[in-house]
Amino acid sequence: MKKIIFSALCCACSFSYAQEHFSGFSSSRRVGILNAGANPSELANLFRTVDIQLFAFSLDASNNKVGFSDLIEGKNVEDLIFAGGEAVDFDINTQIMGPSAGFSAFGWGFGVATRSHIRANISNVNTELGDALTNSALNSILGASTISNSENQRITGTVWGELALSAARKLYDKKNHQINAGISLKLLFPGSYANLGMSAFQGTITNTAGDVRLNNAAAQLNIAYSGSLANEFTDASDYFSSLWGGLNGVATDIGVDYQWKGANNKYKLKVGASVCNIGSMTFKDDNNATRTYSLSVNDANPVNGLGLDLNQFESIDGLRDIENILIANNGANGVDFTLENESRDFKVKLPTILNLYADYQIISKLSVTLFMVQRLNDEGANDQILSQNMLSITPRFTTGMFEGFIPVNFNEISGTTAGLGLRLGGFFLGSNSILTALSNDSKQADFFIGSRFGIL
């Protein structure tokens, strides 16, 4: 288990990225196909008749344990991860946008976009349990510790591709007011998936000179895997090797926006709302499996090898290893590991979110954007891809060829960050938290880059 948890944490600590992709740029006044990812109605506001997105890359993550200064000072990451009583939360989120295009015709705006997604999450993992599974409880004092956690502790990884077909139209455009609406149909191509969920966990962990045992325990376990993440969960190549699978899912985005225009027909205020990722995808592979188990350890005495030996989970590579170890321990030393239900193919729900934003022009070339992301799904469900809530405020300076912005973000896992982004012609890059990382103990950073051009 050490490889699974610690590899994911190392990725997050090494990058420590934020949550909103292309933060600040996705609400740019130079509207293109990228803006439609946050709200499909924006296709009715295309800056050029044709907008071509050559590529865009965004790597995001956040954590609640390890700060930028901790890495600079060379502190032991494993010690920091499982320190204190706060549950461990890490989020890594990558989006790769391939060749895409938006265009205006016959009073409509249309778009075709390709995107690949990679997500890895550790959610609500108890520090004492995580320490016992990865470090043989080296961070804990000798003796016994009783844990009770009614929520679902999860380690997940998901890879999929999507082809989005979008359309938008002006519903109302008179005098100083304009209302647009849009919709996207996403064809989903699930690549690989892994989920370890442990809910209603309670038990006593005893550390006797490095011999770590679990006793008087009960929990519900979900173990699900598909594709390249079935065998290993620890190598980046396991994720990038399966960006696109077969077509096995559909999702929808819907959105509207309102503009209050000034004398030059450019908007003074724009307000938008969208609900994105309404849908699910089905994973089908030769090594597919999703199983729910009940785990109980009834022997209350950790002495003389009784109870579940947690040391054997230290060096495993994948979820199959966890499953095989628990099956091998079934019926020994008071361990009862019972299969309750299983299936081969399974559905996974996309992270449905509500986007709300407002962009206000303060003076010519200077504006400010308020952007909010609110998740709408149950994060504790084992068939749910995880997401975060986020609020950002972005002052922006815009000319024809240049755009500069400073996003200030409030992230539910890593707190407040400030970043910097710019656009020069069709090239753009930025970081959602570079300013915070350089100035204080930020637990978040991000990076995005891309290139596009417009015609007519």
| H or E, element range at 221 | strand 211-226
CB contact set of 338 (below 8 Å; sequence gap of 6+): 293, 294, 295, 330
pLDDT at residue 15, as a whole number = 36
Residue identified by tokens 């309750």 is 340
* CA pair distance 153, 264, nearest whole angstrom: 54
Q: How many CB atoms lie within 10 A of CB 150?
A: 9
Does residue 396 have a pLDDT over 80? Answer: yes
* CA pair distance 7, 10, nearest whole angstrom: 5
Residue of higher predicted confidence among 183 and 71: 183
**Any idea what DSSP says for residue 29?**
S
Contact between 352 and 277 under an 8 Å Cβ cutoff? The reply is: yes
pLDDT tens, position by position, 266-276: 899 999 999 99
pLDDT tens, position by position, 43-79: 999 999 999 999 999 988 777 777 666 666 656 666 6
pLDDT tens, position by position, 206-226: 888 778 888 889 999 999 999
- Residue 445: pLDDT band (50, 70, 90) is low
**Any idea what DSSP says for residue 45?**
G
Q: How far from 307 is each of 132, 310, 419, CA to CA, in Å?
A: 14, 9, 50
- Residue 17: pLDDT band (50, 70, 90) is very low
pLDDT at residue 68, as a whole number = 63
Q: How many CB atoms lie within 10 A of CB 342?
A: 13
pLDDT at residue 12, as a whole number = 41
pLDDT at residue 13, as a whole number = 41
With 0.85 as the threshold, say if the pTM is over it.
yes
